[in-house]
Amino acid sequence: MTTTTTLTPSTSKIRVPHFVRGKLIWGDDTEYLSRDFGVPFATPRLKLDELFVPRTQQGPAFDVPVSEIIDFLVETAKHLTLETNEYLQESLEMTLQVSALPRRIIESTFARPGQFLTREALEYRLDRTFGDRNLLDGWVERTDPNGRVSRIRAFPPRLVHMLAGNSPSAAMTSIADAALVKAVNVFKMPSADPFTTVAVLRTMSDIEPDHPILRSMSAVYWRGGDAQVENVLYRSQYFDKLVAWGGGSAIENAAKYAGPGFQLISFDPKVSMSIVGREAFASEETLQQVAELAAADATIFNQDACVAARHIAVEGDIGQVDRFCAALTARLGVDRDFAEATGPKTPSDIREEVEGMRFLEPDYRVWGGYDGRGLVVRSPEPVDFHPTNKTVNVVPVASMGDAAAFATVATQTVGIYPTHRKAEVRDHLATAGVQRVVKLGSALTGSMGSPHDGMYPLHRFVNWVVDDDA
Amino acid sequence: MSGTTKQRNVIETLDALFQERRRQVPFLAQRADAEGIERIASREDVIPLLFPHTVYKSYPESLIAKGNWRQLTRWLDSLSTHRVTDVDLSGVADVDDLIDRLEAAGHLVSSSSGTSGKSSFLNKSPRDREVSLQNMLDGLTDLGLPPERTWHFIPVGPETGLSGHNAMRDLLLGSYGRPDGIPPFPAAPPAAGHHAYMARLSAVRKAMADGTATPDELAAHEAESAKRQAENERRLHYWAEQILEHRSERIFFSSQFASLFRLTEILRELGAKDGDITGENALTVGGGLKGHSLPADYQAQIYRMLNISPSRFFHYYSMQELNLRLARCSAERYHVPSGLVLFVLDKNGEAPAPESDGQVEGRAAFFDTTVDGRWGGTITGDKISVDLDACACGRSGPSIAPGITRYSDLVDDDKITCAGTTDAYVRGFIED
């Protein structure tokens, strides 16, 4: 890693505090190695009994009105500004030591991780998810067509969250979600970022130290897959649901504990793609604009994110598609908020496959290089390898509808140009398994209150309980 | 010869081969041009030119599914010393047909499936095969097992039907098998169509990932796989019965560990105990466990049951990219034979790994100067630990410690990311 930090030399041990039901815990009892860069870090000893209130008791936040929780989250967001928040600053410095991304991009992700937390946004989201916010605060009475009366509550659940190490806003999202449903929570922090969740919780603790929401939360680290912890904790007697963000063997391993009374809510690991219609070739200027939009989607976090497009289906003849490829290649090598002009080099397995294709022209054609500035491969069908490190596979199609064949159950986001043609393909894409269709260039943005990974997550989090008079 | 002279000779040999092959192997010429390498003046110069083992599976898999044999041979040609332009491709129906045609034209293509399910294709010349076979006999002779036709010879299997495997089996049978030896397994060779089967396996896997495989296709594939497994099981039972009938006579086994271990299990199921088999038996094993998980003491179990002593066990480290083998010595270390140049590289295979106290650990790479059909430089997927000083067995030169692991087995198991691959959605495809 080339970035230097002033706080801690990268060879020395990093101290990672735990946050246990409102209290910050320091300790050097257990030492781990972050695999990404081999930086050792130390955590306090894990005391499992202290992580959460037992099922014999109500959770601390069960009876806190949701509007008060929103107040607390909105207040928190005001304090989540990198320039003024020393916890975020510290977390940023530590994240830099274990992250593959450069300082500039990490700083972008730390700038304002709570910006989506406004009262309006949160209320809108709850209304879209639950229809009636009162379901969270108490028992909402209704009468069925037979005249039978019952009362329903979106009852606070007991959740264990396995967090992904993607970004601070992901940590903030998980905390906000957990707070909104008033859950009893244990956050298992990722080895790629065992800092930021605690940084956010400390920020909240400074605002209101003993808030019931904080007494409902513990954020700790153990090595993913450690049966001494997971085989003990991952039981229906302690938790209702395992909320798993992402993929990898740690999640696969944890998923094995799912069973009666202990459900898996899985935000699966995903791939994304784009579809470019023939309108892109209306003029040279349009082509350049479309190439820029496509590049913006493909390069998110140097393409190390589920929303980053890897394959682009282009409606056109070979000559047109090749012009698009050339324009795209140029735009891949550009500095962006969340991408570097020159990212990590092309991995050797991709390089080998691509070099093999150079001998198969004209069916296959290659643009760019292996230096991390961008590589584009045009092939008659999607390539065998998984494009990473700013590698984009462009596949010509005769019509936009043909591109749906490239979408699978693993496809998350599909960016489409021009916007009005989304309607033409969205049913085909959804049939194949796609869960999100956006306009090209907007993979990273989104509207509020939308479903995620084919569900309304908060709706899945809560326990739907009925008090029936029938 | 002094160390420096020897080193200089190695570099001269490498450069001479490079100058010759860059005119013959288009992939090498492309790589050399991209790296700006004109000549080999030091060991380091050759590192960017070593081919990762994955190069030999760098063709698009759809070429096989679509039967685009012309493009596949074009790709193979780019990695070959001898042109692959003279092959009759008319009427080729599957990969087995293709391999037969290539072989008829003097391209003894060696193919094997990897963990991804995609097969590799390495073009070997008749000379490559000759060198490899002779190297096997030399290794056995050095161990004290010169060719003499006094053994029962058991090619434990699995039987692949691959011509390279058949040639090795026939060589060992012809060199060691006694004329009145245990007859071969009488059933028809189950492995006819091995490549086509592997290609189908791969195609079904890909179709699953694409979402186009139907339940019936999947069921048919699983039935075929079960049938092949049952056939292999019957074969191992046949060998087990023959072994027990000839329990005091010398038997020469050639196999892989996974099959051998299953053989010892079957022997035990048939009532045999350690010590029952008393013939002074010999064994040669190449390759690792290929993804099979066996008990920690699997080797000891095999040796006890089959009565194999270290002096009669030719254990070597090699791979299909090499003609030559690194034989294991009495100190249980693998030695680099002349003709083979060892490189220990960093994890990424880009630079020499740092040495410390005569020890170096890293990614194994080789240059096999005997390779004729291709460029002889290979970067493996193996992590090795090398002692540069003299070995306890008395030999000088670098030796590789036992306990070779694969980098692909050393991935971070605590890494969680939202970016996935379609592979995560395809359950339950295990290699044969």
pLDDT above 80 for B411: no
Q: Is residue B267 one of the residues assigned to a domain?
A: yes
| A291 and A223 within one domain | no
> Is B209's Cβ below 8 Å from some Cβ in A?
yes
Q: Tell me whether residues A248 and B417 touch, CB distance under 8 A.
A: yes
Q: What is the DSSP string of A110-142?
A: HS-TTTT--HHHHHHHHHHHHS-THHHHS-EEE
Q: Is residue B422 one of the residues assigned to a domain?
A: no
Please indicate whether residue A66 or residue A8 has the higher confidence score (pLDDT).
A66
Q: How confident is the model at residue A447 (pLDDT cuts 50, 70, 90)?
A: confident
State residue A84 phi and psi, 5-degree precision.
-110, -5
Q: Is residue A8 one of the residues assigned to a domain?
A: no
Q: What's A276's domain CATH number?
A: 3.40.309.10
**B325 touches B133 (CB < 8 A):** no
- Calpha distance A426→A409 (Å, rounded): 14
pLDDT above 50 for A351: yes
Cα B262 from chain centre? 20
Give the DSSP letter of residue B49.
G
pLDDT at residue number A168: 75
> Is B210's Cβ below 8 Å from some Cβ in A?
yes
pLDDT above 90 for B141: yes
CA dihedral B95, B96, B100, B103 (to 10 degrees): 70
pLDDT at residue number B5: 67
- Calpha distance B21→B409 (Å, rounded): 33
pLDDT above 50 for A407: yes
Q: Which two tokens mark A262?
A: 């202990």
| A138 and A42 within one domain | yes
Cis upstream peptide for A362 (omega within 30°): yes
Q: What's A131's domain CATH number?
A: 3.40.605.10
**A339 touches A301 (CB < 8 A):** yes
Nearest to A227 by CA among B413, B348, B254: B413
- Calpha distance A162→A243 (Å, rounded): 6
| CB < 8 Å to B31, chain A | 355
Across residues B352-357, what is the average pLDDT?
93
* Closest approach of B43 to chain A, Cα-based (Å): 21
Give A220-263 pLDDT, tens digit per residue: 999 888 889 999 999 999 999 999 887 777 778 888 899 899 99
Residue partners of A193: CB distance under 8 A and separation at least 6? A95, A98, A99, A163, A165, A166, A168, A171
Q: Which amino acid is at B428?
A: G
Give A180-207 pLDDT, tens digit per residue: 999 999 999 988 788 889 999 999 999 9
Give the mutation candidate from A302, A384, A434, A453 for the B interface (greatest B CB count, under 10 A): A384
Angle between the N-to-C axes of helices A66-79 and A168-180, in degrees from 0 to 180, rounded to the nearest 10: 160
How high is the mean pLDDT of chain B?
87
> Is A268's Cβ below 8 Å from some Cβ in B?
yes
Across residues B299-327, what is the average pLDDT?
92
pLDDT at residue number B33: 93
Q: Tell me whether residues B71 and A360 touch, CB distance under 8 A.
A: yes
pLDDT above 80 for B6: no
Q: Which two tokens mark B161?
A: 């039907």
Please indicate whether residue B408 or residue B350 has the higher confidence score (pLDDT).
B350
Give the DSSP letter of residue B151.
B
Task: Find the residue in A nearest to B77 (Cα).
Answer: A359
| A313 and A365 within one domain | yes
Residue B251 pairs in a beta bridge with B152
Q: Tell me whether residues A245 and B211 touch, CB distance under 8 A.
A: no
| CB < 8 Å to A306, chain B | 417-420
> Is A226's Cβ below 8 Å from some Cβ in B?
no
- Calpha distance B366→B198 (Å, rounded): 28
Task: Find the residue in A nearest to B34 (Cα).
Answer: A369
Across residues B177-196, what is the average pLDDT?
76
pLDDT at residue number B416: 61
- Calpha distance A76→A70 (Å, rounded): 10
Across residues A373-390, what is the average pLDDT?
94
pLDDT above 60 for B115: no
Q: Is residue A89 one of the residues assigned to a domain?
A: yes
Give A253-274 pLDDT, tens digit per residue: 888 899 899 999 988 888 999 9
| CB < 8 Å to B349, chain A | 348
Q: How confident is the model at residue A375 (pLDDT cuts 50, 70, 90)?
A: very high
pLDDT at residue number B419: 64
- Lowest mean per-residue pLDDT among A363-377, A435-449, B274-288: B274-288
Domain total in chain B: 1
Q: Which amino acid is at B155?
A: P
* Closest approach of A118 to chain B, Cα-based (Å): 25
Task: Find the residue in B nearest to A244 (Cα).
Answer: B416
pLDDT above 70 for A6: no
**A410 touches A435 (CB < 8 A):** no
Q: Is residue A137 one of the residues assigned to a domain?
A: yes
User: What is the domain extent for residue A28?
Assistant: 14-268+453-468
pLDDT above 70 for A7: no
Q: How confident is the model at residue B425 (pLDDT cuts 50, 70, 90)?
A: low
| CB < 8 Å to B209, chain A | 408, 410
Residue A301 falls in which region: left (phi positive, over 0), alpha (psi -120 to 50) or beta = left
Residues in chain A, total: 470
| A311 and A211 within one domain | no
> Is B62's Cβ below 8 Å from some Cβ in A?
yes
Residue partners of B132: CB distance under 8 A and separation at least 6? B168, B323, B324
| CB < 8 Å to B80, chain A | none
Q: Is residue B85 one of the residues assigned to a domain?
A: no
Q: Is residue B162 one of the residues assigned to a domain?
A: yes
Give A45-89 pLDDT, tens digit per residue: 999 999 999 999 999 999 999 999 999 999 999 999 999 999 999
- Lowest mean per-residue pLDDT among A317-326, B206-215, B396-405: B206-215
**B230 touches B239 (CB < 8 A):** no
Give the DSSP letter of residue A47.
-
> Is A261's Cβ below 8 Å from some Cβ in B?
no
* Closest approach of A303 to chain B, Cα-based (Å): 9
Neighbours of A257 (CB within 10 A): 18
Q: Is residue A284 one of the residues assigned to a domain?
A: yes
Q: How many CA atoms lie within 13 A of A224 on its CB side?
A: 33
| CB < 8 Å to B412, chain A | 35-36, 191
Q: How confident is the model at residue A4 (pLDDT cuts 50, 70, 90)?
A: very low
pLDDT at residue number A419: 97
- Calpha distance A333→B416 (Å, rounded): 27
pLDDT at residue number B21: 97
Q: Which two tokens mark B402?
A: 């036992």
Domain total in chain A: 2
Q: Tell me whether residues A247 and B211 touch, CB distance under 8 A.
A: no
- Calpha distance B267→B244 (Å, rounded): 8
> Is B213's Cβ below 8 Å from some Cβ in A?
no
Q: Is residue B276 one of the residues assigned to a domain?
A: yes
- Calpha distance A279→A116 (Å, rounded): 34
| A252 and A201 within one domain | yes
> Is A357's Cβ below 8 Å from some Cβ in B?
yes
> Is B65's Cβ below 8 Å from some Cβ in A?
no
> Is A264's Cβ below 8 Å from some Cβ in B?
no
Q: Is residue B34 one of the residues assigned to a domain?
A: no
Q: Tell me whether residues B413 and A308 touch, CB distance under 8 A.
A: no
Q: Is residue A118 one of the residues assigned to a domain?
A: yes
Reduce the DSSP state of residue B333 to 3 states and report it.
coil
Q: Tell me whether residues B416 and A248 touch, CB distance under 8 A.
A: yes
> Is A306's Cβ below 8 Å from some Cβ in B?
yes
| CB < 8 Å to A405, chain B | 210
| A185 and A50 within one domain | yes
Q: Is residue A56 one of the residues assigned to a domain?
A: yes
| CB < 8 Å to A383, chain B | 60
Nearest to B54 by CA among B111, B114, B123: B114
pLDDT above 70 for A2: no
Q: Is the dihedral of CA B391, B396, B402, B405 positive or negative?
A: positive
pLDDT at residue number A466: 97
Neighbours of A463 (CB within 10 A): 14
Q: Tell me whether residues A304 and B419 touch, CB distance under 8 A.
A: yes
Chains A–B, number of C-beta pairs less than 8 Å apart: 152
Q: Tell me whether residues B416 and A386 touch, CB distance under 8 A.
A: no
Chain A residues 65-104 with a CB less than 8 Å from chain B: none
Q: Is residue B394 one of the residues assigned to a domain?
A: no
When CB atoms are compared, the residue of A166, A191, A364 closest to B414 is: A191
In chain A, the percentage of residues whose pLDDT exceeds 90 is: 71
| CB < 8 Å to B58, chain A | 352-357
Q: How confident is the model at residue B4 (pLDDT cuts 50, 70, 90)?
A: low
Bridge pairing between strands A411-417 and A158-162: unpaired
**A67 touches A57 (CB < 8 A):** no
When CB atoms are compared, the residue of A192, A381, A432 closest to B62 is: A381
Give the mutation candidate from A41, A348, A359 for the B interface (greatest B CB count, under 10 A): A359
User: What is the domain extent for residue B273?
Assistant: 127-317
Reduce the DSSP state of residue A353 to 3 states and report it.
helix
| A298 and A203 within one domain | no
Helices (H), B108-214: 126-143, 163-176, 194-210
| A352 and A230 within one domain | no
Task: Find the residue in A nearest to B205 (Cα).
Answer: A384
From the number of C-beta atoms within 10 Å of its C-beta (0-12, 13-18, 19+), residue A444 rates as: middle
pLDDT at residue number A124: 95
pLDDT at residue number A144: 95
pLDDT at residue number B77: 96
- Lowest mean per-residue pLDDT among A8-12, A306-310, A455-459, B288-292: A8-12
Q: Is the dihedral of CA B376, B379, B383, B388 positive or negative?
A: positive
State residue B209 phi and psi, 5-degree precision.
-65, -40
Give B59-103 pLDDT, tens digit per residue: 998 898 889 999 999 999 999 999 998 899 999 988 888 999 999
* Closest approach of B55 to chain A, Cα-based (Å): 5
Neighbours of B98 (CB within 10 A): 25
When CB atoms are compared, the residue of B349, B414, B420 closest to A247 is: B420
Q: How confident is the model at residue B239 (pLDDT cuts 50, 70, 90)?
A: very high
| A147 and A39 within one domain | yes
Give the mutation candidate from B30, B410, B418 for the A interface (greatest A CB count, under 10 A): B418
Give A265-300 pLDDT, tens digit per residue: 988 888 999 999 999 999 999 999 999 999 999 999
Q: How confident is the model at residue B3 (pLDDT cuts 50, 70, 90)?
A: low
- Calpha distance B124→B113 (Å, rounded): 17
pLDDT above 90 for A457: yes
A349-354: which pairs have CB atoms within 8 A and are 24 or more residues apart? A349/A385, A349/B52, A349/B54, A350/A375, A350/A385, A350/A387, A350/A388, A350/A389, A350/A391, A352/B51, A352/B52, A352/B54, A352/B55, A352/B58, A353/A383, A353/A384, A353/A385, A353/B54, A353/B58, A354/A391, A354/B58
Q: How confident is the model at residue B189 (pLDDT cuts 50, 70, 90)?
A: low
pLDDT at residue number A383: 93
| A420 and A393 within one domain | yes
Radius of gyration of chain B (CA): 22
How high is the mean pLDDT of chain A?
91
Residues in chain B, total: 432
pLDDT at residue number B291: 60
Bridge pairing between strands B405-406 and B377-387: antiparallel
Q: Is residue A444 one of the residues assigned to a domain?
A: no
- Calpha distance B87→B74 (Å, rounded): 11
Helices (H), B246-327: 257-269, 298-306
Give B323-342 pLDDT, tens digit per residue: 999 999 989 899 999 999 99
| A264 and A399 within one domain | no
Q: Is residue A128 one of the residues assigned to a domain?
A: yes
| A374 and A337 within one domain | yes
**A150 touches A467 (CB < 8 A):** yes
| CB < 8 Å to B417, chain A | 164-166, 192, 246-248, 269, 304, 306
Give B12-59 pLDDT, tens digit per residue: 999 999 999 999 999 999 999 999 999 999 999 999 999 988 899 899
